[in-house]
Structure 1
Amino acid sequence: MNKNWTFGRKLAFGFAVSSTFLVGIGVAAYWSIYMLVATATSVTHTQRVLEHVTGLLSQMKDAETGQRGFLLTGEPSYLEPFQAASAGATIVLAELRTLTADNPNQQARISQAEALTAAKFSELKRTIELRRAGRADEAIKIVLSGEGKKVMDTLRAVCEQISREERELLSKREAEADATASTAKMTILGGTALCLLFVIAAGFTITGSLTDRLGMAVGHVQSSSAELQAAATQQASGAREQANAMSEISTTISELGVTSRQIAESAQRVAQIAEQTALSARNGESTVEKGQESIAGIRRQTDLVVSHMLDLGRKSQEIGAVLDIVSELAEQTNILAINATIEASGAGEAGRRFAVVAEEIRKLADRVAGATKGIRIQIDDVRSAVNTTVMTTEGGAKAVDLGARQFADVALAFKQIADLVNTTTEAVREIELSTKQQATAADQVRIAVSDVAQATQETETSSTQTLQTASQLAGLSMDLRRLVHPQAV
């Protein structure tokens, strides 16, 4: 490391080398993890192939079990394992072919397994068909011939070859995973150790260089800080007195400006409220006018209802007169029917039919008289209801007239309120304008004084900060001296 390098360059160099070590360790760790994941995926793939090979043999055993049960009993229910195995074996073989698509040797063995599986199922189906046809002896002969056993033995051998190669691949991949893990551990541990050694060496080197340079600078800082502290003390004392005086003046003018703005804001709010009140009064006046129009309409409708009710009363009286005539005719008809009955009874056998007709006429006259009485009662009820309605409607009309007069009074009051609110609004606006002018003048004075006060405060602040900086600088120089040369303190 060059001695003429600055402190920042030395730190940058140390961080750059440390970061390079860390990046190398990270890349090695990432590559190792990637290889472990790939190896784990391959191991899982191999295990799936082994599971499918075992599943194929299991399916074939189930098929043989179903076939033997059917040959012995003849019950179709024993064929369920055979049927399930027939469909399942095809699926397992297809998945095996997909899983070993990258291995030509395994593809060839799977082709053999497919042919053997087809031959076995053909033999099983042939014996099942013979048993269904009632030729059980022939089916058993085929089983005893050992043809199916040879096929199964060959299939087991092929499956064993497939499993053996997959187990070899599994062992190889597990060995690769172990080797990759070991390499990753060594790389990470070695890189970490080198990185720590370099950081420690760089730390010692940079610390020694920094100590020498700081020792020379501390002396200059101590002498300069003492001079600066004395000058800052005098400047801060004078600036503090001037700042206190200007602060009092600025505070007084600020309070005056705040009071003026509050008065202006209050006047503005009063003006807004007065305008809203005037608007509400005008709206109320419009609403009252609409109410008067609605009451006039109600009055017209009431008069029309009274007129219809009076017409209904007159018509009910006319109906009553007609009912009187009908009742009188019914009584006369009844009397004539009675006389006719008496005359018919005196006429003997010849007047009997006439007596029957007269009796029916009398009954009809009685019904007419009864109906007439019922109608008269209903007409009287209608007449009474009409009279009550007319009286009630007239009372409502009087109430409507009274409401109309009251609405007129309310409308007059709203007009007076609107006039008063307009006058108040104009007065408040004049107050608002005057107050705004006063607030503007106060703001101008306040701004001028505030500028002077701000300049004074800035001077005081600058002096105080200079004094604080000088004090801090003196303390810092002592601290640096303690750090660099503890025995010199």
Structure 2
Amino acid sequence: MIGTLNLRQRILAGYVVPLLLMVGVAFAVYLQTQRLQALSADAVAAGRAVALGKEAHVGLAQYQRDMRGYLIAHDRNALETAAQSMARATENLDALAKLLTSAEQREVLARLLKTIDEIAGVTGKYRELVDAGSAAKALQFFRQSNLTELSVRVDALIDQIEAHELEILAQRDAEQTEASATLVSVTLGATVAAILLAIGIGRALAVRSTRTISESVAHVSTASTEMAATVDEHERTVTQQVAAVSEVSATVEELGMSARQSASQAESSAAAALQALELARHGTRAADEAAQSTAGMKEKIDSLAHRILSLSEQAGQIGGIAKLVGELASETNMLALNAAVEAARAGEQGKGFAVVASEIRKLAVQSKKSAERADALVTEIQNATNSAVMVTEDGSRSADEVMATASRVAEAFDAIAGAANNVSENAQQVMLNSKQQAAALSQVTDAMLSLAAGSRQMAAGTEQTKAGIENLKQVAHGLKAMV
């Protein structure tokens, strides 16, 4: 599946898979944290229930002591203190009722409240006797009552509630310890798995991406070699064209000499006219051949320009990929920096993660530098291909000029042929025809000079194209060595 992705998609995949794993880890950590919070809340509630039970127990004991003190000493202050103690005990038991969650505990609390009501009834009875002035009866009632049994029952019920809540507290502490250990194990295990997965995916993507770039560089080198061969062929064609121009110039010079001789030797005008006709036909064929060669050369130049433009577009795509790598390296650097900050906040537990974040930052910086170097090389390739395109455009224009000049040469040779026919048919007009022929030959000579100059310019452009292609090959070899 990775082989079907482009370079940008491969890089994104290398980051997405570990990121998804880390998201899953974060969700698991969140669930464990919620569980820890719930266990902590249960433990706090159990501890609070134990404390409330003890405070209620103390309040009830204080209430009974104060009531016994009133029974013995008839002190009204003892009644007020007893009322306050009972109020505190009742308030604590109401708060305790809100914290109890099990039906068993609520049943025990109901029995406790019923027992407290019985104690309040007994103490209220002997209080009434004391208030009525029957202290002896009140004391006798106190001795005969089951107040001691009720007090023991209260102690037992409160101890039962406290024991159950202490059991819950111990259970929640154990569960918290287990959940904390699980959270640490999940976090460390998932982090190590994410790191190993990221390294594995990164290596796989790096191998495949390097292979893809190497293949592209090989294609560039092959295209450069083909372009060099085409330019060499173009250079040979230009050389042949220069030779043909020289030959045509020599032929025109000979025709000029023949025209001058025909003016002074009218007797041989017919033979000279036939010779001029033959030479004109030869010149026409040479001009046609030059035009055909120039047309073929123009097609090859246009093909070369298209290939260079395609190479420039590929280089631009490589530059875009290099820029994307630089941007992802910058984002990776920022993510690693944030991870280092979070690891520093975590203290001793985050030291290992901080080391990993530091190494990731170093890799991100190196990736960014490599991307910048690749981008610079791509810029040089594009500059070289732009220069090559300009040279091929100059060559194409020169080829058009050569074709136009060859056409004019062919027309001039046709005029020469017509003049030669007229000389052979009408020897009396030899002098006039010779002058016309000399003027036409002068124009042909000028055209040949222009054609020679254009050929020299085309040869110079070919040399520049060869130099640009050589630079392009060197850049391709450099990029291949880099990857």
Query: TM-score normalised to the size of structure 2?
Result: 0.46
Pair member with larger Rg: 1
Query: TM-score normalised to the size of structure 1?
Result: 0.46
